[in-house]
Amino acid sequence: MIRNLLRVAAISAVAVSLSACISVFPKTKPVGMYRFGQAEVNVSKGPPGAMFGVLKAPTIFTRSAAGDRIQTVTNGEVAYIAGARWVSPAFVLFEEATARAFENDPGRARLIGRGEVGKAELVLRLEVRTFEAVYDQGPKAAPEIVVRVRGVLSRSSDRALVGDQIFEAKIRAADNRVGAIVPAYDQAVAKVLGDIVNWINAAEPAPKA
């Protein structure tokens, strides 16, 4: 009887000890998950002509911003927004947004898969050189989102350079909150992709006679 009482007392003591340990640790605030690439990309129909295929090489993304953290810059100092993440790495979201921009494009250019290389008249390479929230008016003011992308377009037949251009968008966030910063990223990406698609639609897929 005494042995059983001691056993129950020991179990109760362990349970109290565990509950005390659990209550010591504060609850972890969940990380907010965000995405960009949802804003509508405005693309003009472009010049008339036959449709042509574009093979897109994997996008080169600035390393510091390629992951799932949201990069900021203040007086040259790089940091990341605490408690906020992209739902997927930024380079993945950018690739998805690029594909959607071409799918919704009414113009001549069409992205083709890597298994259809023979059907590509042009090859597109994109380099995302800047992808950040710049606190140019102080750490408490609304930042400006800067997206800068270099586009290189060449013909697949003779590898001749068709175009090499920098595309840039700067969108001021409505407020210094993540809920306002993310839509500014969305708008900046849409602006850049719209300019890129328009540029490709106006390209000459074949050498002039």
Span 116-168, pLDDT tens digits: 656 789 999 999 999 999 999 999 999 999 999 999 999 988 889 999 999 99
Predicted local distance difference test score (pLDDT) of residue 87 = 96
Predicted local distance difference test score (pLDDT) of residue 104 = 84
Span 16-69, pLDDT tens digits: 343 334 334 445 467 799 999 888 887 776 666 778 899 999 999 999 999 999
Predicted local distance difference test score (pLDDT) of residue 46 = 63
CB of 204 within 8 A of CB of 162?
yes
Tokens 């907010």 identify what position? Answer: 32
Predicted local distance difference test score (pLDDT) of residue 40 = 82
pLDDT mean over 183-207? 91
Span 74-90, pLDDT tens digits: 999 999 999 999 999 99
Predicted local distance difference test score (pLDDT) of residue 17 = 40
In the chain, domain spans: 31-201
Cα–Cα distances in angstroms (integers) from residue 201 to residues 51, 52, 167, in the given order: 9, 9, 15
Tokens 């698609």 identify what position? Answer: 197
CB of 31 within 8 A of CB of 84?
yes
What band does 113 get if pLDDT is binned at 50, 70 and 90?
confident
To 5 degrees, how large is the angle CA 187–CA 192–CA 197? 125
- Check pLDDT > 90 for residue 112: no
Residue 66 φ then ψ, to 5°: -75, -20
For residue 101, the Cα-to-chain-centroid distance in whole angstroms is 13
| CATH code, residues 31-201 | 3.40.50.10610
- Check pLDDT > 60 for residue 209: no
